[in-house]
Amino acid sequence: MPTRREFLTTTSLAGAAALLPAAPFPLFPDAAQSSAFVSRRPPLAQRKFVSPAVEQTIAAVAAAIADAELAWMFENCFPNTLDTTVAFRQQNGKPDTFVLTGDIPAMWLRDSSAQVWPYLPLAARDDALRALLAGVINRQTQCILIDPYANAFNDGPAASPWQNDLTDMKPELHERKWEIDSLCYPLRLAHGFWRATGETAPFDEAWRHAMALVVRTFKEQQRWHGPGPYKFQRRTPVASDTVPLGGYGNATRPNGMIHSIFRPSDDACLYPLFVPGNMFAVTALQQLAELIDAVHHDAAFAGECRALAAQVQQAVQREAVVAHPKFGRIFAYEIDGFGNSVCMDDANLPSLLALPYLGCCALTDAVYQNTRRFALSEDNPYFHRGAAAEGIGSPHVGLGMIWHLSVIVRALTSASDAEIRLCLRMLKATHAGTGFMHESFQRDDPATFTRPWFAWANTLLGELILKLQAERPQLLHDRL
């Protein structure tokens, strides 16, 4: 089975024609010169799930986009999760939805939550879509109960390329990398589903037990009383795929933050106190407390969630804000509790750039704005600028590779029409004629890219377009 690191695709598009100049970045000729854009969606009979509400939204929004290429990209990308990645059925009388990431046949708790998130506003008027989303929550509940430390799951017991990892692997697990956001994202999805639909059926006793396990896991990984039960090592030549010091990670001084052994890129943390993940945990725990109060009327558990959130928040504010010589007070990416920090940002969410998008701070927060300027500068070692585009990458795929996620999140967190237009132009310039987003692309040659089928990035582009249609429609009314 191919692994995430093996999905590097070098297309032949760069050799097919020269790039046309267009300020500030080029466009692929086959897209820019076409008078009609042919849908890249699967034929109707081959789509995994069809939602009338989603189809109506695609038609209405695409008709309002003046730029034909951008409209075509939206039509391809927004439904991609439903078209290609969901397996929806009934299990024990309840909806059950398994969500692939795309070209890797496994379900990540993070990715599955993010892939379906943009459909939540449509669920109240589409019963089948609402059931599918409830099925995602039900499946995530099952996954957490199997192992709260795992990041990715098989659809039932199956072989995994990582089954010989030196950790407590189970047949249901695709991979067992402990990433704090793997438990934050299901909390965000559950809260968002409840707010969007008012439905409480997924929040049954099994879900309640899973949520107790989430909080227990977070507390274990505060490491007040030792490293806890989780450790991980892998026999690999890739240093970031294994963990030092017996699989527990580099040394830390416990300070109230939650340890995360891996980043959302699935790369090992340098320092296990991962700041964006901890800020996300604060927000997710507060959302969980609200949901527990409303649905289960359990004041004690809700109070426990809020107390943990407050403890983590205080530790972040006390220790994770550092003085940068050029940008002033910024959020570090990782710290160790001894006063050491890593200053960088990675395209994968949660990232420092994405903090307001995830509800972790206000867009106008002064420390965030300083951090944002840092993250989008060449002082961030993983910010890349090239002939095709500029944006944040990740050590996960190497230097010089920009991730579409970061370009989209830059637009989602911008208050500047000019900056948003820049992002839209870069997205148009770098889909390599495919009509889809990718994991990453080479900064000078978008025809060199990783992961041709990366549903999260596709759906997130759809979310950006819907946000612009609702809040800044004028940006969609002109050709880019």
Strand 8-10 relative to strand 107-108, pairing: unpaired
pTM: 0.93
Residue among 184, 181, 163, 183 nearest 172 (CA): 163
Give the H or E element holding residue 290: helix 275-291
- Give the CA distances from residue 317 to residues 33, 137, 276, 282, 368, in Å, rounded to whole numbers and listed in that order: 51, 32, 12, 12, 12
Under a CB-based contact definition with an 8 Å cutoff, are residues 81 and 116 in contact?
yes
Give the H or E element holding residue 8: strand 8-10
Amino acid at 137: I
Distance CA 299, CA 276 (A): 28
Per-residue pLDDT of the chain (480 residues; tens, 9 = 90+): 444 544 444 333 332 222 222 334 444 334 444 446 999 999 999 999 999 999 999 999 999 999 999 999 999 999 999 999 999 999 999 999 999 999 999 999 999 999 999 999 999 999 999 999 999 999 999 999 999 999 999 999 999 999 999 999 999 999 999 999 999 999 999 999 999 999 999 999 999 999 999 999 999 999 999 999 999 999 999 999 999 999 999 999 999 999 999 999 999 999 999 999 999 999 999 999 999 999 999 999 999 999 999 999 999 999 999 999 999 999 999 999 999 999 999 999 999 999 999 999 999 999 999 999 999 999 999 999 999 999 999 999 999 999 999 999 999 999 999 999 999 999 999 999 999 999 999 999 999 999 999 999 999 999 999 999 999 999 999 888
Which pair of structure tokens corresponds to residue 373? 């300027």
Domain map (residue ranges) of the chain: 4-476
Residue 454 has what DSSP assignment? Answer: B
Distance CA 74, CA 397 (A): 26
Under a CB-based contact definition with an 8 Å cutoff, are residues 334 and 275 in contact?
yes
Residue 145 has what DSSP assignment? Answer: H
Which pair of structure tokens corresponds to residue 59? 């038609």
Distance CA 234, CA 166 (A): 6
CA angle 260, 261, 266 (to 5 degrees): 100
Number of CB atoms found within 10 A of residue 131's CB = 18
Which pair of structure tokens corresponds to residue 361? 């701070």
Q: Where are the beta strands (DSSP E) in 252-314?
A: 273-274
Considering the domain 4-476 in this protein, what is its CATH number? 1.50.10.10
Under a CB-based contact definition with an 8 Å cutoff, are residues 392 and 435 in contact?
no
